[in-house]
């Protein structure tokens, strides 16, 4: 049976993105935690920008990267898999060593200091409190233009899917963007950055370029 399995000849979405390493950022490699959720979309966006990407499935892969993205998805599932695959301490170690880490949506939930309801037990890497599903259930998902203190016009197309909200931030946390004038939706504390929306589901690469700059500077 096994000898009948040959490499797939089907064309895939990967055929449409540039090959690894052709352009962009020599020596820079970004990992996307690929346990569950929108890791493929992050990979594609980074590859389009010419970044060498590693889909991280084992903790030892954290050694070869300069930055890490925790994608959106289901935070309870990702948290369980982080525990099962032994990722918790290795992620805390690379964060402590200054590696830039970006969490989008479920990824933001996982990076928070505390959640209104635990489990999941977050990694507590950024001093924000987060409420899961704060804008309602799946049907209450929405899009909203986001005004960026960092990038200016035009507004960023914010895609919110069963999104969490940031309910409290400590003074050392910089709020990058808010919606409805007061709800923070993107924030940063040193090497940790979070967004409650999904830039990887848009064609707007400004947030990814912002993260690439963080990684270059680290
Ligand atoms: N509500 C989800 C959770 O709690 C996150 C949704 C998302 O990542 N789009 O994990």
Q: How far apart are CA 155 and CA 133, in angstroms?
A: 24
105 assigned to active site: yes
Q: With 80 as the cut, is the pLDDT of residue 13 above it?
A: no
Q: Mind listing the pLDDT tens digit for each residue in 25-72?
A: 888 999 999 999 999 999 999 988 889 999 999 999 999 999 999 999
200 assigned to active site: yes
Cβ of 47 closer than 6 Å to ligand 1, yes or no, is no
Domain-located, residue 81: yes
pLDDT for the residue numbered 149 = 75
Of all atoms in ligand 1, which is nearest to the CA of residue 141?
Answer: 9
Quickly state the pLDDT bin for 22 (edges 50, 70, 90).
low
Radius of gyration of the chain (CA): 17
- State phi, psi for 192 to the nearest 5 degrees: -110, 125
Domain-located, residue 18: no
Domain harbouring 176, CATH code: 3.40.50.880
Q: Mind listing the pLDDT tens digit for each residue in 108-124?
A: 999 999 999 999 999 99
Contact between residue 164 and residue 136 where contact means Cβ atoms under 8 Å apart: no
Cβ of 74 closer than 6 Å to ligand 1, yes or no, is yes
pLDDT for the residue numbered 15 = 57
Average pLDDT, the chain: 91
Domain-located, residue 212: yes
Least confident of 18-22, 123-127, 167-171: 18-22
Cβ of 106 closer than 6 Å to ligand 1, yes or no, is yes
pLDDT for the residue numbered 14 = 55
Domain containing 186: what range? 24-217
Quickly state the pLDDT bin for 97 (edges 50, 70, 90).
very high
Contacts of 49 (CB under 8 A, 6+ apart): 24, 205, 208, 209, 212
182 assigned to active site: no
Counting the structural domains of the chain, the total is: 1
Mutate to test the pocket of ligand 1, among 78, 82, 132 (most ligand atoms within 8 A of CB): 132
Domain-located, residue 16: no
Contact between residue 156 and residue 145 where contact means Cβ atoms under 8 Å apart: yes
Closest CA relative to residue 31, chosen from 8, 5, 7, 59: 59
Q: How far apart are CA 105 and CA 199, in angstroms?
A: 10
Q: Which two tokens stand for residue 10?
A: 């089907």
In this prediction the pTM is 0.91
């Amino acid at each position: 049976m096994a000898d009948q399995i040959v490499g797939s000849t089907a064309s895939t979405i990967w055929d449409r993105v540039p090959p690894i390493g052709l352009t962009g950022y020599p020596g820079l490699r970004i990992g996307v935690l690929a346990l569950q959720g929108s890791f493929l979309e992050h990979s594609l966006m980074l590859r389009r920008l010419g970044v060498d990407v590693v889909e991280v499935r084992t903790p030892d892969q954290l050694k070869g990267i300069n930055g890490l993205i925790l994608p959106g998805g289901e935070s309870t599932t990702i948290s369980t898999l982080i525990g099962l695959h032994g990722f918790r301490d290795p992620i805390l170690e690379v964060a402590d060593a200054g590696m830039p880490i970006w969490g989008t949506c479920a990824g933001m939930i996982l990076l928070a200091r505390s959640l209104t309801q635990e489990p999941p037990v977050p990694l507590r890497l950024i001093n924000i409190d987060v409420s899961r599903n704060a804008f309602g259930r799946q049907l209450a998902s929405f899009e909203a233009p986001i005004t960026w203190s960092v990038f200016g016009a035009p507004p960023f197309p914010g895609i919110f899917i069963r999104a969490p909200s940031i309910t409290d931030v400590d003074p050392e946390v910089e709020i990058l963007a808010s919606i409805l004038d007061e709800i923070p939706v993107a924030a940063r504390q040193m090497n940790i950055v979070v967004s409650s929306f999904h830039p990887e589901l848009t064609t707007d690469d400004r947030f990814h370029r912002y993260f690439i700059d963080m990684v270059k500077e680290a």
